[in-house]
Structure 1
């Protein structure tokens, strides 16, 4: 099985994650024993931050907050998935300060017509394991949290066979279709009553920035949205014009900082290893690559509740910048050299809104809407304009309260460079005018 281009890289990724995972097992058992001996003396955190956009969780005396729901789009979350099954299998309490979880996803595709390989079939297999340490309870470090996860992917080039620029299969990586990687490894620190939050390490930046799929947390546990959309295509979790935001399956090392002056408003900034812009598969690398390629991003957001029923909604906007020399896919007028550009910049905005409750005050069944926008004038980006949106119906089928039905639309305008068309002509030398290239077989 192919893992990493670098010699020994696969072994390092497996060693780091498995060693961390195994080391936490006895610690989890010990922590549970200590808490059982001192029941009622532990201190929990006073608030939480939603993974996809730091809007504080309002305090409530009601039922405990729901666990993070399993997102259909893997780009939507930085952190772990917990159903409780693995925790129970290990003999650990669901309230343990150390949590173990994971995800197993198997998918299949059949290209019914069109594309570059019509009538072809492809598939995806993703296995992920993670461990989350509540450092406040375990190590008495107020506001601290440590997380590690690893994933294995086995599959085929679904998006390449379809010639999908916006990417319809959200599990399929851009290249290297058999991979085993250290996925995330980070420390998060909450300070000043959760007004200031830092995260440092290897991070899925799509769980922190530009993420329309993050629901607004509300105090009424029985009314909380567990999803915004379960659409399987990629644009709902990644705005196509956001260039090389380090996101599944290629998170990257970096630092984020969020300031929350109120529970309804936030300002966030992040800087990441930006070598994904030159084709490096940062997810497969155990450590960062430190050079002139950096990805900077900033975002501001606001949440609200509308009318007497308190329908939650949020809006956010951001700006990003990529440093380094970037290929444009164009040639000089003489045709003897490639045109490059120094860096790239772009803008984006998104919003989601609860539109209708079927049973106000009883359950979250009803209708949710979302919208997205992105723009980047850089010639190194495949798409310069993007607009998208959709509707999601939750729990409308009889006796199926957690089922969803959704519809969405994603539109992108490609740039005029040859690079935007290379997905249809992958055998071309780069860059070269498209008419001289052979289409993908």
Structure 2
């Protein structure tokens, strides 16, 4: 970590009382087949398939963001990461509009670049005027990259405006970048009190979240400075008095990936993949609160170095009932009256959980749904990594708004090649499912 860029670092110490206050949930209740009883929504479209191998260009669908064209909503865009494949931009028919390569990493191993998550910043004031930006976490360089959105630009809607001198987010040198404990999850936030824009970035295989202030440069580029960091816990005190950490490869800590900020109250929601969903102030001050736990919370495990897998032990019954590890994509569904939901991808059972966005209601669980196959050729979403939702009219195609979800197992498959893509879902169907 580049200490000179840190204004203040906040390290969270989790007290025993936080975990002990949670009541144990009977195992039989926690393992109800929620996936079988939740309402179903179906996609209207899907993007072209991506393949994570050399033959297919090492592209693996991960995380989407929805950019609304206020002047012509029918011409809105979906910007999505394809990991080693860089960025993909799609229109509302899920057709490819632009492909941007991830710059190759600079380490000794000559590893390819790798874009992990993406989010949007609206109306950032650059030297050339206000601009909407797509922001992505570049794992290959441990940096953020910025792309100006211009729907009518002849060469494609995205233009790279990253300051070449932008600092590494977490790593002190290239050797640490090569260890790949680099920038991972990402969410953006503009503080209405100050007008300043920020990115919240998590670190791969660590529990750290960093707050970065986004800064325009004199030549129209964008850089950032680190404001502070916060470390979520890696060890938890269980109600039976024992300590627990989720099973993982030696040296790995339970990482955060999916994140979203509620602009109405400045709250950050962060998915710690093997733990659950946290709520905390987006400025990373104060004490985070674990609003829901995965079903596997508290289950011991033994790591097998030969298979590189964990063998679970007996479930003590301390986990939650609604989400199953990993907790992945988090997104915010806002409503005009101030209501709405925090949506979380429950990767372990291919479902989505919805929580009330009101902190006063303790982010109460409001229900869930599945994204299932629409027909023989348009399948649903499995092992979803990322999701984005926009509750605003998007022309004739999605007058009720749009939900975009990653599909970790696109079907029909292609032999032994991993196939992924993104599904486009009419938001009206999602709202109906949550109202049931």
- What TM-score, normalized by structure 2, do the two folds share? 0.31
Of structures 1 and 2, the larger Rg is shown by 1
Higher helix share: 1
